[in-house]
Structure 1
Amino acid sequence: MTSNLTPSSGQDSTTHSQSSRSKTDPAWEHVSEERYGNGRRALICLYCKSITKGGGIHRMKLHLAGVKGDIGPCKLVPPDVRFRMENSLQEFVNAKKATKEADEYRNPYGPNVSQFEGDMAEGEEEVQEMQSPMAASSGKRKKSTMDKYFAPRNTEGAQPSMRGVLAGKEATWRADMAIGRFFYDACIPTNAMNSFYFKPMLYLQLDAKKEVQLLVDSYRVIWAKVRCTIMGDSWTDNRQRTLINFLVYCPEGILFVKSVDASDIVKDATNLFQLFDEVIEWVGPLNVVHVVTDNAANYVAPGRLISQKHKHINWSPCAAHCLNLIFKDIGKIDHVAELVRRASKVTIFVYNHVALLSWLRKMEGWTEILRPGATRFATTFIALKSLHDHKHDLQALVTSKFFVDSRYSKDYKSQVAVSIILDNRFWNDCLIVVNLMSPLMRLLRIVDYDERPSMGYVYEGMYRCTTFTKVGHSNIEPNRIVFWM
């Protein structure tokens, strides 16, 4: 679209300097400039390639902000860029109203911070009094790196130019948003809000909320095009509260919708169906094609009710949750449960004696022994693998002169742990269980991966796990493998 634009050769250095000085507007980052004909300027949008001849950057800013005008709104501009352009236009309107004010303009942070800024001003006077005699005699102060964040002034005490005020506010807005994002991303404790300086930061939440709303709007466009999946994740926190997180998945990403405290409601089919139906109505029934929940009985019935009300929506259980329940059932088998119980005795023996743990940590390549989680049943087998990796270190410990001569070797519980550590049958059983569980562990990692869809791997993965279990370990003694059939 720019082939008819040719650079002008009649520009002099004065015109070039004026052009470079005028490019402080943030919209220039998203616009390219060309010259044509007798040196007239054409501005080109970097997103939709729209061209405007004549006029200034303000017209292109209206275009990027989505304001209907003689150019028309840009349909390809990213949400964050459109948000910045809207803020810049609003700041321009606010600054226009403040042109009659003199040296100082209204402080948006309130009177308390005005007093704080006054203290800073007094500190600056003290710093200026400590300048070198040469700087004082010349009347010039060395510029610091912070000077670029403040609006320039032509003369001492003069009102800042309109362009300078806008540039300074743009830089301030960037810094404020960076601080706000850090505050939210770092999960700073909420008691930090008791700080005297937290109140001035509250206005950042409005910008952050609007930014998130723009992101949600962009996701809604994707939902309407390719449809989406609603996921419900139920869990219990440390205070024994039952929480249900609702999320929406599409190829563009996962969006957290809300978290419901279901501690005070009966989690039957009717109540759970109402919770899911509210989320479906918020997303848009025509945008949803799939609902994923846990495999518990009280979640299976709401899945059927959803499919009855919305014929095009299918329900399926969470593959990761199903695999986790498989690990739970396998862990209840007598042979495996006894193996896990003996392994737990060894782990407790090591971590209950600081001197023994200190001796092990001096071993080359030592890593901590992993312990199973309370609700993540796959971690039971991860802990067995971790313990088996430390077999030789543990055997070296209980046969060392340090341990034999210590008081720990006389204790009954220690003797039980030592007998387990020196039992080769125990270690062989650990290796068998770990090898048999490794295909399921790999499949669990695949279905629990957030970066790409994993539904296509589930059935093939389960088939391979079954084949591996029945064929891959056919050389194991029959009494060792019978519990897998």
Structure 2
Amino acid sequence: MSTSKKRKASGSMDNYFAPRTTPDSQPGIKSALATKEAKHNVKMLIAEWAIVNCIPFKAFECPLFQKAVDGIASIGSGFKAPSAYDFKTNLLGDWKKECQLLIDCHRAKWKNNGCTLMADGWTDVRQRTLINFLVYSTHGMVFVKSVDASDLVKDAKTLFTLFCEVIEWIGPKNIVHVVIDNAANYVACGKLIKEKYKSIYWSPCAAHCLNLVLKDFSSMPHVSDLASKASRITIFAYNHMVFLSWLRKRLSWKEIVRPGATRFATTFITLHSIYMHKNDLQALVVDKHFVDHKLSKTEAGKIFSAIILDNRFWNDCYEVVKIVSPLIKLLQIVDSDEKPSLPYVYEGMRRAKMTIKEMFKKNKEMYKPYTRIIQA
């Protein structure tokens, strides 16, 4: 029998057996006969390596880890693990080739089903302005390239040039849709793309649009004042461990979500988090532990206590949280990569407007400031 026939027969035979890397797969004979003590010793060796090298425990949940362990076990004792030099040279190069083959496979499929080009602009920890280009299709997501735009003037023409390079690499006929940022320069770039490539249409990022809606909500005077008071509560509580320790001893206590620098949604998530801690915070400011402490007599302590004991603050918190709740849920959907989210956007925005109208009992003067922002 020829070598090719042997391989074919072997491949067809393997189809009748479950892979060893699945969670419920049948263990090998050698593994099944190993004692519990021997298995425990091996696990201890792996744990020692992970702890010494600060490997996150979550890494062991990756199915590739079990696949690697099975590969080592199939060779047997005496297998020499790759060195750091191996990783930096031939292994890294071989995996680069594998990734290139995978991308080429995706590119061949884009010709048949089309794809969506997406651009994601962000700033890294070194304050560099980066633009990531990704391609989405029914076969999955592919990272194309990352451009360091720190030294570039990010006007419409410059962005248009960057997009054209990627579009030509993908193939204009293969692209159906381009998703870009909602900033004015990106919008102008989208119009230039539409003028040059008639078969490509563009749209702003839904998640970015929702963040801008939440940004406009947070800029409303009464919401801004509410967020400022919530910030005072959070800062005072977390700056004084004597009170934070008291709060953490309560069974119902969970850490307050603090606002992020770029995500406007976190402002409202913080308001919701503080509202959920209403009973704990009120219990603190009336407790002897707080009342008799010298910090309660300071200006910050008095403001902290006054805000927490103000029923209007809590009512306003509840109102704002209820208003933005549908938008937060919609943002969670469109900001995930699990499934296409565009079908949910229009229905989600409609429900958000209906929720706001019903909350204000269809009083136009009350709900119009919010619905006007959503419709803009």
TM over 0.5: yes
Q: In the alignment, which residue of structure 2 is the partner of 1:354? A: 241
Alignment-derived partner of residue 94 in structure 2: 207
In structure 1, the residue corresponding to 2:257 is in which secondary structure? coil
The Cα offsets for residues 143-174 of structure 1, whole Å up to 9 and x where unpaired, read as: xxx896369xxxxxxxxxxxxxxxx9xx88xx
CA gap of 1:351–1:27, structure 2 versus 1, over 3 A, is farther
Shift of 1:240: 2.4
Partners of 2:9 and 2:247 lie apart in 1 by 62
Is the Cα contact below 8 Å between 2:360 and 2:366 reproduced in 1? no
Which of 5, 11, 34 lines up with 1:30 in the alignment? 11
Give the corresponding residue for 2:84. Answer: 198
Q: 2:75 aligns with which of 149, 171, 190?
A: 149
Distance between the aligned counterparts of 1:335 and 1:343, measured in 2? 12
Q: 2:347 aligns with which of 441, 445, 460?
A: 460
C-alpha root-mean-square deviation of aligned residues, in Å? 2.7
Distance 1:352 1:26, change over 3 A: farther
Q: How many Å apart are 1:224 and its aligned residue?
A: 1.1
1:429 aligns with one of 295, 299, 316: 316
Task: Tell me the amino acid that sits aligned with residue 322 of structure 1.
Answer: C
Q: Any idea what the Cα deviations from partners look like across 1:116-136, whole Å, max 9, x if unmatched? A: xxxxxxxxxxxxxxxxxxxxx
Q: Tell me, what secondary structure is at the counterpart of 2:271?
A: helix
Decide whether aligned partners of structure 1 residues 26 and 150 sit closer, same or farther in structure 2, where only a CA change above 3 A counts: farther
Length, aligned pairs only: 313
Aligned to 1:330: 217
Structure 1 residues 79-228: aligned runs within 5 Å = 149=75, 197-201=83-87, 202-228=89-115
Counterpart pick for 1:341 among 228, 234, 249? 228
Contact 1:295–1:322 (CA under 8 A) maintained in structure 2: yes
Rounded to whole Å, the distance in 1 between the matches of 2:310 and 2:126 is: 41
Match of 2:121 among 215, 234, 253: 234
Distance in 1 of aligned mates of 2:360 and 2:202: 36
Asked if the contact 1:233–1:246 (Cα under 8 Å) also holds between the matched residues in 2, the reply is yes
For 1:427 and 1:458, locate their aligned partners in 2 and report how far apart those are by CA, in whole Å.
30
Mark the CA change 1:402 to 1:29 in structure 2 (over 3 Å): closer, same or farther: farther
Separation in 2, partners of 1:27, 1:277? 45
Name the structure 2 match of 1:315. 202
Q: Where do residues 401-412 of structure 1 align in structure 2 (5 Å cutoff)?
A: 401-412=288-299
What's the offset of the Cα at 1:266? 0.8
Structure 1 length as normaliser, TM-score?
0.60
Does the CA-based 8 Å contact 1:346-1:417 persist in structure 2?
yes
Q: Does 1:413 align with 2:339?
A: no
Q: Aligned partners of 2:362 and 2:244: how far apart in 1?
A: 37
Map of 1:397 onto structure 2: 284
Query: What letter is aligned with 2:128?
Result: R
For residue 68 of structure 2, what is the aligned residue in structure 1? Answer: none
Change in Cα spacing, 1:26 to 1:427, as seen in structure 2 (3 Å) is farther
CA distance in structure 1 between the aligned counterparts of 2:362 and 2:309, rounded to whole angstroms: 24
Deviations 1:413-433 (A, max 9, x none): 101110000001100000000
Partner AA of 2:266 in structure 1: T
Aligned to 1:292: 179
Q: For 1:352 and 1:475, locate their aligned partners in 2 and report how far apart those are by CA, in whole Å.
A: 42
SS in 2 for 1:31: helix
- Pick from 358, 367, 370 the counterpart of residue 484 of structure 1: 370
User: For each residue in 1:384-409, what CA deviation from the matched residue of structure 2 results, as whole angstroms up to 9, or x when unmatched?
Assistant: 00010000000111111111121221
Distance 1:219 1:379 in 2: 36
What residue is the counterpart of 1:444 in the other structure? Answer: 331
Larger radius of gyration: 1
Matched, 1:255 2:138: no
| Structure that is richer in helix per residue | 2
- Contact 1:295-1:321 at 8 Å conserved across structures: yes
Q: In the TM superposition, what are the counterparts of 1:271-290 in structure 2 within 5 Å?
A: 271-290=158-177
Aligned twin of 1:40? none
CA gap 1:414/1:29 in 2 versus in 1, 3 angstroms: farther
> For residues 48-81 of structure 1, what are the alpha-carbon distances to aligned partners after superposition, in whole Å with 9 as ceiling and x for unaligned?
xxxxxxxxxxxxxxxxxxxxxxxxxxxxxxxxxx
Aligned 8 A contact 1:333 1:483 in 2: no
Structure 2 gap ranges (5+): 16-71, 372-376
Preserved contact between residue 228 and residue 249 of structure 1 (Cα < 8 Å): yes
Judging changes above 3 Å, is the alpha-carbon distance between structure 1 residues 455 and 148 closer, same or farther for their aligned structure 2 residues? Answer: closer
| Equivalent of residue 375 in structure 1, options 225, 239, 262 | 262
Q: Name the amino acid aligned to 1:390.
A: H
